């Protein structure tokens, strides 16, 4: 690293850490237990590692159009934003005992829920009524729930919500806790990124997988060139086992489609 390079990097470090004078910078170095020479050696080491990585790993990595499209077709869920909904709920609870549900109480709760639904259909604000009469914890927020991804909902509930439009309310629904009314506040449609929109993300994912593979191969190359003297047979055994495990993982990674 030339003196000019070192000076430029120092200025960048000072700027990033809002250090305006040399005394403050020297104090910061002391707090880290470093001298200016230590810092320069560390920066030169980092620069050398970066250059080695560039020459031995990154220079060998490229992502073709076919690879990107294959990845996109196999991983479309990664680029899909599912439909999401916002709901309001009103729950009229039905007390339950060891003997089960009292029929009269159940009928009374159902009648109350039906009456509330008629009020909602007549234009009464859902949030106000939920805050006044709902037995659900969401009453504190006017019955508001969500947003919830549609693919997280039970099929039976999805069927109910598919039957109503934004701003409408559902029929009275019997649940384990009692009788529930749902209001559909909003619904977003499922969105899938096009290949062109996802191209940059795909390239990064495939390149990262290839980077790991090339890095491992480079490490194996260095290891094969090294001379190692073992004084502990147990450590050597563990080392050999780890090498074999890495070899299998590398072979397995190379045999899979990109980033699978």
When pLDDT is averaged across residues 244-259 and rounded to a whole number, the result is 65
Q: Please, is 50 exposed, middle or buried when counting C-beta atoms within 10 Å of its C-beta (0-12, 13-18, 19+)?
A: exposed
Q: For the domain bounded by 83-189, which CATH number is listed?
A: 3.10.50.40
- Please give the pLDDT value at position 100: 76
Q: What residue has token string 């039976």?
A: 156
R_g (Cα) of the chain, nearest Å: 32
- Beta-sheet strands, E only, within the chain: 80-81, 84-93, 96-97, 100-101, 144-149, 173-174, 178-188, 191-192
pLDDT digits (tens, 9 = 90+) for 13-69: 889 988 888 889 888 889 889 898 999 999 999 888 888 888 877 787 888 899 999
- Please report where in the chains the tokens 């009292």 appear, as a residue: 102
> Cis peptide leading into 57, omega within 30 of 0?
no
- Show me where the domains of the chain are located: 3-56, 59-75+193-255, 83-189
Residue 260 has pLDDT above 80, yes or no: no
Rounded-to-integer distance, Cα 211 and Cα 140, Å: 51
pLDDT digits (tens, 9 = 90+) for 124-179: 999 999 999 999 999 999 999 989 988 888 888 888 888 889 999 999 999 888 99
Tell me the DSSP string of 152-176.
Answer: GS-HHHHHHHHTS-TT-BPPPEE-S
pLDDT at 257: 53
Q: Can you tell me whether residue 34 is helix, strand or coil?
A: coil
CB 177 within 8 A of CB 91: yes
């Amino acid at each position: 690293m030339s003196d000019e390079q070192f000076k430029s990097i120092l200025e960048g470090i000072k700027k990033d850490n809002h250090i305006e004078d040399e005394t403050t910078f020297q104090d910061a170095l002391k707090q880290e237990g470093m001298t200016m020479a230590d810092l320069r050696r560390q920066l030169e080491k980092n620069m050398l590692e970066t250059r080695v990585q560039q020459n031995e790993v990154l220079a060998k990595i490229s992502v073709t159009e076919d690879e990107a499209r294959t990845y996109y077709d196999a991983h479309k869920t990664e680029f899909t934003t599912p439909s999401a909904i916002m709901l309001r709920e009103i729950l009229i609870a039905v007390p339950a005992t060891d003997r089960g549900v009292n029929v009269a109480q159940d009928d009374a709760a159902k009648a109350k829920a039906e009456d509330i639904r008629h009020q909602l259909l007549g234009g009464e604000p859902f949030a106000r009524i939920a805050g006044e009469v709902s037995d659900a914890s969401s009453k504190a927020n006017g019955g508001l729930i969500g947003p919830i991804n549609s693919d997280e909902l039970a099929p039976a509930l999805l069927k109910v919500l598919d039957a109503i439009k934004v701003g409408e309310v559902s029929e009275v629904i019997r649940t384990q806790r009692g009788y529930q009314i749902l209001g559909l506040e909003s619904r977003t449609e499922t969105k899938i990124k096009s290949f062109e929109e996802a191209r940059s993300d795909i390239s990064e994912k495939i390149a990262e997988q290839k980077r790991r593979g090339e890095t491992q191969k480079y490490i194996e190359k260095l290891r094969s060139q090294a001379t190692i003297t073992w004084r502990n047979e147990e450590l050597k055994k563990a080392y050999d086992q780890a090498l074999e495990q890495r070899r299998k993982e590398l072979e397995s990674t190379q045999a899979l489609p990109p980033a699978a």
